[in-house]
Amino acid sequence: MRRMQIKEMAERLGITPHAIRYYEEKGLIAPPKEPDNRYRTFSEEEAWRLQTIVTLRRIGMPVSEIKKVLAEVDRGHEHVVTRYLELQRAATFTEWVRLKHQLEIIEQMIQNGEQNSAPSWDDWYRLTRHWQEREQWRLKWRDLWAFDQQAETFDQRVERNDPLDLYAEYDHALQTLTEWIDARPEETGLDLGAGTGNLAGRFFANGIRMAAVEQSAEMLRRCREKFPAMTTKLGNFLAIPFSDDAFDFIVTSFAFHHLREEQKPLALEEMHRVLSPGGRIGIVDWMIESNETFHAW
């Protein structure tokens, strides 16, 4: 079987020999070396592995994540690769949202400078500092509630309608929100923090085109099992993985309270971004009467 040397391999993939050596240094590849001259040589199988690495790097996936993907492939778990791509899509949307807001800040700085005929450094400093603080809160999204572990039993829990459980009146709350939104057949809706798809499923059953966004991969898997024809994406409130003006209405149930107070305005801005003009938002969630009630709870 013919083997290629590093220069030929680099030319074939459109990368540099230095990049190939870097991937070897990071443990992504381990090409054998000729015993007489110590030159690296590559088989077709190793060329495929390098091609996979190059493909994932082109979409911005970090080397550390690529290493995990290759480990799954080596174990024969190629079906898991899609989950890593979903994570990369979510990360890319987060960066896209950040850059979009950064461009808006630059435009404001330009307008401020033009109005004052000179740079207004104090105003620019305050503007950029405020933006930076907001973006830091966007990046602080974390799953602190282990929803992946709750996915298998979540539907059974809410179906019990236990008056002592956090999800008491769950069915009534979802039905009320569905009625309030009053979706029309030609509309498209989005369920944020969709969980296993119970709220989105109510609209879907009525012939409404629905999309679901959920940050828990296992919750999303259950949603897909229940509603295979529904558009589903991994993501969260702070970087919704859809384009501007994509939906006629947005709903969310028992999820908004998981956001920090500083994150809630960012989430509402994101909802506004993907909502078409004249669209509507419906939020159903727990309400705590007072701090004393909250701490007792």
> Which of the two residues, 27 and 119, has the higher pLDDT score?
27
Is the pTM for the entire model greater than 0.85?
Answer: no
Q: How confident is the prediction for the chain on average, in pLDDT?
A: 91
- In the prediction, which pLDDT does 143 show? 75
Question: What does the pLDDT average to over 249-272?
Answer: 95
> Which of the two residues, 147 and 179, has the higher pLDDT score?
179
- In the prediction, which pLDDT does 173 show? 93
Q: Among the listed ranges 16-30, 122-136, 157-171, 174-188, which one has the minimum average pLDDT value?
A: 157-171
Question: What does the pLDDT average to over 202-215?
Answer: 96
Contacts of 195 (CB under 8 A, 6+ apart): 147, 154, 214, 216, 219, 223, 253, 254, 255
Q: Are 87 and 235 in contact (CB under 8 A)?
A: no
**Residues 106-135: tens digit of each pLDDT:** 999 999 888 887 788 889 999 999 999 999
Residues 73 and 69: their CA atoms lie apart, in Å, by 6
And the tokens for 177?
Answer: 């929100």
**Residues 273-296: tens digit of each pLDDT:** 999 999 999 999 987 776 666 566
Q: Which of 203, 276, 201, 283 minimizes the C-alpha distance to 237?
A: 283
Q: Are 219 and 195 in contact (CB under 8 A)?
A: yes
Q: Are 189 and 248 in contact (CB under 8 A)?
A: yes
Percent of the residues in the chain that have a pLDDT greater than 70, as a whole number: 96
Question: What does the pLDDT average to over 59-82?
Answer: 91
And the tokens for 22?
Answer: 């870097």
User: Hunting for tokens 């999800």 — which residue is that?
Assistant: 167
